[in-house]
Amino acid sequence: MTRQDQRGDASAGRRLAEVDPGWGDGTRCVHAGHPVAVPGEPVVAGPVLSTQYHLAPPAEAGEADIYGRSGNPTWRALEQAIGELDGGRCVVFPSGMAAIATLLRALLRPGDVLVLPSDGYFGVREWVRAELSWVSVREVPTAGPWSDDVFDDAVLVLLETPSNPGLDVCDIRELSRRANTAGAMVAVDNTTATPLGQRPLELGADIVVASDTKALTGHSDLVLGHVTVRDADLADALRRARTLGGAIPGPFETWLALRSLGTLDLRLGRQAENARAVAELLRDHPAVRGFRWPGWEGDPAHAAAARQMRRFGGVLGFELPDADAVRRFLERCRLVGSATSFGGLHTTADRRARWGDPVPEGFLRLSVGCEDTDDLVADLRAALDGIRWP
Active site residues: 69, 121, 189, 214
Query: How many H-runs (helices) and E-runs (strands) does the chain carry?
Result: 13, 12
Beta bridge partners of 367: 315, 348
Rounded (10°) CA dihedral 60, 232, 258, 312: 180
* Identity of residue 185: M
Distances from the Cα of 213 to the Cαs of 119, 192, 221, 297, in angstroms?
A: 20, 11, 8, 29
Whether 202 contacts 87, CB under 8 Å = yes
Alpha-carbon distance of 62 to 5, in angstroms, equals: 14
Query: Which alpha helices (DSSP H) does 87-159 contain, by range?
Result: 96-107, 122-131
CA atoms within 13 A on the CB side of 352: 24
Q: In which element (H, E) is residue 164 found?
A: none
Neighbours of 310 (CB within 10 A): 13
- CB contact set of 275 (below 8 Å; sequence gap of 6+): 293, 295, 312, 313, 314, 315, 316, 368
Burial of 133 (0-12, 13-18, 19+ CB in 10 A): exposed
Whether 287 contacts 216, CB under 8 Å = no
* Burial profile 245-263: b = 16 or more Cβ within 10 angstroms, e = fewer: eebbbbbebbbbbbebbbb
Beginning with the edge strand found earlier in the chain, give each strand of the sheet holding 348-351 in spatial order: 289-292, 315-319, 363-367, 348-351, 337-338
Nearest to 376 by CA among 279, 289, 268, 260: 279
Neighbours of 145 (CB within 10 A): 7
Beta bridge partners of 154: 113
Helix, strand, coil percentages, rounded to 5, for the chain: 40, 15, 45
